[in-house]
Structure 1
Amino acid sequence: MQHLASVRRLEAVGFRAWPAASIQYDGSWQIRLTAGHPSKRLNSVNPLDPSDHRDVEKRVERAAQRFRAYGRPLVFRQSPLAPPQLDAYFDAHGWRRFDETRVMMAEIDQLDLEDVLDHLPIREIGRYVDASIQVHGRDPALKPGLTEVLSSIRPEAGFFVLEEADTGPVATALCVHDNDMAGIFELATRADRQRMGHAREVVATALRWARMRGAEKAWLQVEAGNLAAVGLYEGFGFSDIYRYDYRQAPELSAHG
């Protein structure tokens, strides 16, 4: 039960840090939809009670109707809070499982945050969004949607950009300080500047900023297959708390 309590707290902190535009509930299933941004975390069904598994087939279809209205593919995000019976339903109907993600945490005062320069967070969201899109190599058409998401964050947020005078932004990270928790999001290094220590520098800077504001625990979500990022975080001192993955119906998977 203690494990599930930790999962519930981290899930709630994560939802506040990466807020969806529309949140509805079907029982304890949280249905998150965001017309302006395609992120799976912003467009997924999130079951939040392992015992809530009644009328699975009807509720999956109701969720599908809502997602169709938004023009989004139906995706379930399955954390340890999801009922096992729901995974069994997906298995029986051929739903694929993909993008396993590790949720990691550490005590900030036990992390190695030294030996890097400090950088102040930037105040202008638009400037951060431009840098993030450039560093990630994303479509500039995402700017309005990403700006809307970041502007909706209610806890204190620090927007960090490392820049080179001659080439511009090389690394970005978002740090959300929520009571005693500090979450790291959107970490990226520009493709031509990877493996040069920029990611470590921007993460250490962001967590020092959060520590100065009273955060005691650091946490993050990283795709299990991103071995470089996992190695970076383990090098800092992060360790796994739980994992989640996504499920999608076979007819949707066939269309990407």
Structure 2
Amino acid sequence: MLAIVADQNLPLVRRLEAVGFRAWPTSSVQYDGSWQIRLSGGHPSKRLNCVVALDPSDSKDISLRLEKAGRKFEAHGRPLLVRETPLSPKALIEELKNDGWERFDETMTLTGDLSTLTLPDMLDHLPTHDIGRFVDADLAVHASDPSLKPALAEVISAIKPPTGLFLIEDPDSGPVASTLCVQDNDLAGIMSLAVRSGRRREGLGLEILTSALRWARVRGAKTAWLQVAADNTAALQLYGKLGFQVAYRYRYWRKGT
């Protein structure tokens, strides 16, 4: 079972949010006080296109600030989304509730001590340096729209910290699993881990995750972090067995229709 942190460690949340922004960078970042307005003209990822408040005390003029942010999202052809984390002001969340917004897509951020994580003895995979090859594989494994290739390549190319691009490929059917590991000083983030539909429950996810974590540990990372949908029971059980713990949860809000 995953251990759940009862009292939010806000300094840890702030640090993980910061490395998360660097691990999945958007093309446009603007600030309204401590509210970060993240927008991408190419990729539709919610993390790249949302408003994130980074100070629980920054709660002035909420309605006006949401209205201003909405105009920026409209100019980009994006729906206005607010990402709620433990750093979000309570007044902001109350405003969203009272104004008929709906909450969706809860995600857990997990951390694990790389010195104590239980990594099984499995086939090791070395990272590729070919971004184009990795992007093609990632889109295939996720069954994503191939037209997203330029936007995804732009996101990955914009990652500044050292990054390992990991693939497992079948000689006959092509890529079957993919992930990328972003090492930001002593923290290693596992991003976009997926196994192709029809090849799940074969241990491929554990195999590629283990390869990425070993790569990060050899390079000096001390703590691994990753994000997983709160309703992904199988993944949560796997990460719990390895030794990951819940650091915090986040979720999105959108204007009700």
Counterpart-to-counterpart distance in 1, 2:108 and 2:147: 29
Counterpart for residue 132 of structure 1: 138
The percent of aligned pairs where both chains have the same amino acid is 55
Counterpart-to-counterpart distance in 2, 1:65 and 1:126: 34
5+ residue gaps, structure 2: 1-6
Deviations 1:160-214 (A, max 9, x none): 0001112111100010000000000100001010000000000000000000100
Counterpart for residue 247 of structure 2: 241
| Residue 58 (1) aligns with residue 58 (2) | no
Counterpart for residue 82 of structure 1: 88
Q: Does the 8 A contact of 2:168 with 2:178 survive in 1? A: yes
| Residue 193 (1) aligns with residue 191 (2) | no
Counterpart for residue 217 of structure 1: 223
Counterpart-to-counterpart distance in 1, 2:186 and 2:176: 29
Q: 2:29 aligns with which of 23, 29, 34?
A: 23
- Which segment is superposed worse, 117-126 or 228-237? 228-237
Counterpart for residue 107 of structure 1: 113
Q: Does the 8 A contact of 2:8 with 2:86 survive in 1? A: no
Q: As a proportion of its length, which structure holds more helix? A: 1
Secondary structure of 2:44's counterpart equals coil
Q: Does the 8 A contact of 1:161 with 1:169 survive in 2? A: yes
Counterpart-to-counterpart distance in 1, 2:142 and 2:97: 34
Root-mean-square deviation (CA), in Å?
1.0
The two structures have a TM-score, normalised by structure 2, of: 0.96
Cα drift, residue 22 of structure 1: 0.1
Counterpart-to-counterpart distance in 2, 1:241 and 1:139: 32
The two structures have a TM-score, normalised by structure 1, of: 0.96
Q: Does the 8 A contact of 2:52 with 2:84 survive in 1? A: yes
For residues 135-214 of structure 1, what are the structure 2 equivalents within 5 Å?
A: 135-214=141-220
Paired AA for residue 243 in structure 1: R
Q: Does the 8 A contact of 2:131 with 2:157 survive in 1? A: yes
Paired AA for residue 226 in structure 1: N
Counterpart-to-counterpart distance in 2, 1:80 and 1:134: 34
Cα drift, residue 113 of structure 1: 1.5
Q: How many pairs does the alignment contain? A: 251
Counterpart for residue 4 of structure 2: none
Counterpart for residue 12 of structure 1: 18
Q: Does the 8 A contact of 1:113 with 1:205 survive in 2? A: no
Counterpart-to-counterpart distance in 1, 2:147 and 2:8: 43
